[in-house]
Structure 1
Amino acid sequence: MKERLWRLAQNSSPPLHIYGRAKTAQVHFLNVKSTPTSLQAGSPKVSWLLCTHQENELLHRAIRSCLNQTLDDFELLLIVNGIHADKLALSLQGVYGRDMRVRVIDTPIYLLNFSLSLGLHLARAPLVARMDADDVSAPDRLERQFDFMERHPSVAVLGSAYELMDADGHVHGKVSPPETDREIRSHMHYQNPMCHPSVMLRRQVIVEMGGYLGGKNAEDYDLWLRLALDSNWQFANMSEVLLSYNASPKGEARRSRTAYSNAAGAQLRNFLVTRDLRWLLGSALSAGKSVMRATRA
């Protein structure tokens, strides 16, 4: 049976290209053998996880902010997805290939939740810092979040305050989310209190949760809601502004009918598991937003 699966993979599954520390590798989906683990000797303290399907100046600005950190013991995983991912990955490898901290991985599977889980699978550090392809991280973000996670071993997801900016880099305000686990869990019944590209995650905890399973534009909220069912782990947000969040394109996606419906589904699931009526109310509110406030499908 194993032989048949391997032959099927060799003949029909698209290869997964990994560019970086070693020679370019082609890894078939049914036989991924290059699985790094956080227990490997010489693994970095933090793995950046950034996904993209296009190359532009905003992406390069985001990558530069990841590379120019006061904490320099990290790797940067660039997960490139979509039908032209192989060509884009080669282009990015040409730009960043000399930096031994950068690894470029491409996959034709487009949706973000697969790319995020793929990045978690390949990350070599015990802590994973999320980043979006059009945001900017503060130069001391990794250092501050790493120190916090070292001092608070029960925290599995750590976010931060963030400023809102447009594509030109102009700042239009600041968002200060709830900071304590209790406050975050209270808000989580009705909305997402964690800014996804600001978070640092404990890799092993998220891997054991199954990684990213949620629907489009709500994959992070779905993960937080699954983790919220486990009282052994905590959420936290730092009061410092550690991210400049490009709100213009993502705000539209977050207000889509797809996003609201996926959030409502995750909230309803938590109600059915816990019988906590706050989850049911949150689900009803998200469903109402899908009807009344959604800007697009």
Structure 2
Amino acid sequence: MSYRRIRGLVSVVVPAYNSARYIRTCINSLVKQSYPHIEIIIVNDASSDRTANVIQNWKKSTGARLASRGRIAVAVLPRNTGFSGAITMGMFLSEGEFIAIQDADDLSHPDRFKKQVQFLRDHPEVGLVGTNYAAFKSGSFKNQEIANWIRFGNEIKETYAAGGHCICHGTIMFRGSIFDQIGGPTRRIEGAEDYEFIVRCIENGITVENLPDVLYYYRNHALQRSRKYFGKTEKKGRWK
């Protein structure tokens, strides 16, 4: 018997580790989505900062008023499982026909989910869709730089076949059936889990695409995960 997913529901998975500074604005960008049928799944990956307190305070002060826009669930892991572990846990908890990813320090455009859901409905042959995005330095949201490494159409498959990367992981939405079929990101390749997940989708015959619209805002800051693996000069947004 296959897992039955709720038609039209978008399950937004937000992995959060020591994200106290940014998690509140992240959640606010999700509850303000123009697409109404969502559930937000925050996976607190055993944070050692005030992430848990910030989420709890948000739920008390703002969550009650905005919770009508969608269900909000928080999973607190007893020990740190890492990026792929937290995301996979959120995917296991998801009930939606669609699963979206949102990094805890980033923001989504209000129409992001509406446009991605519509694209997947209009293109049943596509299983996963990302978007273009704009990067900004923390504290300077208006000074944005639009990404120039995102690719579209046939160029996507060609890029991955050549060992490249051209889909920003935080922007993706995919059919929940894909997770039920191939699982979540690997724990074998630390720092490139998102890359491996896209490659595995392609290897399993899943068509992937990007929207040219800037529907995601990528925050550059000193504590972001990518700096641990790729340093300060790594291409913006390739790995969070």
TM > 0.5: yes
Name the structure 2 match of 1:105.
75
Check 1:159–1:225 CA distance in 2 against 1; reply closer, same or farther (3 A cut).
same
2: CA distance between counterparts of 1:178 and 1:55?
Answer: 30
Is 1:218 aligned to 2:192, yes or no?
yes
2: CA distance between counterparts of 1:192 and 1:253?
Answer: 19
Name the structure 2 match of 1:129.
100
Check 1:122–1:178 CA distance in 2 against 1; reply closer, same or farther (3 A cut).
same
RMSD: 2.4
Is 1:92 aligned to 2:55, yes or no?
yes
Cα shift at 1:94: 4.0
Q: Secondary structure at the match of 2:96?
A: coil
Check 1:207–1:219 CA distance in 2 against 1; reply closer, same or farther (3 A cut).
farther
2: CA distance between counterparts of 1:113 and 1:119?
Answer: 10
Q: Secondary structure at the match of 2:210?
A: strand
Deviations 1:150-175 (A, max 9, x none): 11112122111111111112434111
Is 1:161 aligned to 2:132, yes or no?
yes
Deviations 1:57-98 (A, max 9, x none): 42111111111011111010000012649x844652342253
Check 1:147–1:47 CA distance in 2 against 1; reply closer, same or farther (3 A cut).
same
2: CA distance between counterparts of 1:105 and 1:83?
Answer: 12
2: CA distance between counterparts of 1:88 and 1:152?
Answer: 38
* Structure whose residues are more often helix by fraction: 1
1: CA distance between counterparts of 2:48 and 2:228?
Answer: 22
Cα shift at 1:229: 1.2
Name the structure 1 match of 2:147.
175
1: CA distance between counterparts of 2:217 and 2:228?
Answer: 18
1: CA distance between counterparts of 2:212 and 2:40?
Answer: 25
Q: Tell me which of 48, 51, 75 is aligned to 2:12.
A: 48
Q: Tell me which of 70, 88, 93 is aligned to 2:34.
A: 70
- Percent identity, please: 21
2: CA distance between counterparts of 1:190 and 1:120?
Answer: 26
2: CA distance between counterparts of 1:89 and 1:38?
Answer: 31
- How many residues end up aligned between the 2 structures? 217
Say which one has the larger Rg. Answer: 1
Q: Secondary structure at the match of 1:126?
A: strand
Instruction: Give me the TM-score of the superposition, normalised by structure 1.
Output: 0.67
Name the structure 2 match of 1:39.
5
Say if 2:18 and 2:47, in contact at 8 Å, map to a contact too: no
What stretches of structure 2 of length at least 5 have no aligned partner? 235-240
1: CA distance between counterparts of 2:102 and 2:159?
Answer: 23
Q: Secondary structure at the match of 1:45?
A: strand
Q: Which amino acid aligns with 1:125?
A: G
2: CA distance between counterparts of 1:250 and 1:105?
Answer: 21
Say if 2:10 and 2:98, in contact at 8 Å, map to a contact too: yes
Deviations 1:99-136 (A, max 9, x none): 26211011123301011111110001010111111111
Say if 1:120 and 1:207, in contact at 8 Å, map to a contact too: no
Superposed, 1:143-158 pairs within 5 Å as: 143-158=114-129
Q: Which amino acid aligns with 2:76?
A: D
What stretches of structure 1 of length at least 5 have no aligned partner? 1-36, 260-297
